[in-house]
Amino acid sequence: MQVALVVNPVSGKRQGDRIATEAERVLQSLGHETARIQGDDAQHAREQLAKAVETGVDTVVVVGGDGALHDVLPVIVGRGLTLGLLPAGTGNDTARSLGIPVKDPAAATQVLLRGHTREIDLAQTGRDEYVVTVVASGFDSKVNERANAMTWPRGNMRYNIAIVAELRAFEPLAFTLTLDGQTIEREAMLVAVGNGPSFGGGLRICEGASMDDGLLDVVVINPLSKPKLLRVFPKLYRGTHVTIPEFERHRVREVTLSSPGIVAYGDGERLGPLPMAATARPGALRVLVPRA
């Protein structure tokens, strides 16, 4: 293999660089050529990866989380490249959904060497914008907006504080959804479009979503009281929220989301304000996964 390792050195509490260095050592010892891509920002990383691809790279290994993968998808898609993942982020929902070990870098490296390729779908949200996990809009995206504006504290505590602060003033939002050409209107707490089942480090909002069925799972959480919302939140980690009456799901090939003043996030990254369309792109990504 000719491997480009795209490294987020500060991911995983600054473990990304260490994980990449060890993976390079293993790959090179087995005769594989490696090149490290460590851009100053997402645009720089894409530019450096595009140059590496031009020199003959056939495998791209992302050392980081869902955001690091999201940033380089525009370079990978449509070029016949194989993707490998060495989870080193805070969420790692892509790796988790594909069965790649998220807490064992050595085992994840073995997947690069002994795994097999699986073609998975993507959600396309713009000309060169793809999401591999979930497009989130509503309460969760408002929490992200609030958390991103905060300078203190760091880590998950900032997100938890943002949840409490947003909940105080939150009211159900007016959504217009166009599902494979059919338009419906809903008052909802949130709407999520899942290519995969989870986001946010294991929140299984789109429980049951398959990454290779050619469809997107559109999940609507209809209005519920704030106390119930807090009670439902832990259920997301187990996927058992699907039994509540307020849960609604549609499986579609294309969806357009619209809600005044709401911003969408995908793979944990800010995509931009609604309205936004998401289209399923079957088999758009070839990724190395564990053998059964």
Question: Tell me, what CATH number does 233's domain have?
Answer: 2.60.200.40
Give the residue from 114, 142, 162 where a domain finishes: 114
Could you give the percent of the chain with pLDDT greater than 70? 97
Domain identity same for 85 and 199: no
Residue 291 lies in a domain: no
Helix, strand, or coil (residue 61): strand
∠ CA 200-202-207, nearest 5°, is: 105
Domain identity same for 77 and 206: no
Residue 289 lies in a domain: no
Domain identity same for 39 and 93: yes
**Residue 10's pLDDT is what?**
67
Residue 127 lies in a domain: no
Exposure string of 196-217, with b = 16+ CB inside 10 Å and e = fewer, is: bbbbbbbbbbbbebbbeeebbb
Domain identity same for 247 and 163: yes
Distance CA 193, CA 62 (A): 24
Residue 193: C-alpha distances to residues 202, 216, 255, 264, 292 (Å): 15, 6, 8, 10, 28
Q: How many other C-beta atoms are found inside a 10 Å radius of the C-beta of residue 58?
A: 14
Distance CA 158, CA 148 (A): 9
The torsion angle over the Cα atoms of residues 80, 39, 151 and 94, rounded to 10 degrees, is: 20
Residue 153 lies in a domain: yes
Distance CA 254, CA 109 (A): 35
Residue by residue, DSSP assigns 65-98 as -HHHHHHHHHHHTTTTPEEEEEE-SS--HHHHHT
Q: What is the pLDDT of residues 82-92, one digit of tens each?
A: 999 999 988 89
Residue 290 lies in a domain: no
Domain identity same for 171 and 49: no
Domain identity same for 219 and 91: no
Structural domain span for residue 237: 134-282
Distance CA 153, CA 143 (A): 15
CATH number at residue 102: 3.40.50.10330
Residue 210 lies in a domain: yes
Residue 126 lies in a domain: no
199: which DSSP letter? Answer: B
Tokens of 257: 């989301």
Q: Over 80: is that where the pLDDT of 9 sits?
A: no
Number of structural domains the chain divides into? 2
Q: Are strands 247-252 and 82-87 parallel, antiparallel or unpaired?
A: unpaired
Q: What is the pLDDT of residues 23-73, one digit of tens each?
A: 999 999 999 999 999 877 889 999 999 999 999 999 999 999 999 999 999
**Residue 11's pLDDT is what?**
66
Residues constituting the chain: 292
Domain identity same for 265 and 171: yes
Round the average pLDDT of the chain to a whole number and report it.
Answer: 93
Domain identity same for 179 and 258: yes
Q: Over 80: is that where the pLDDT of 169 sits?
A: yes
- Residues whose CB falls within 8 Å of the CB of residue 72, separated by 6 or more in sequence, listed in order: 6, 42, 45, 46, 49, 60, 62
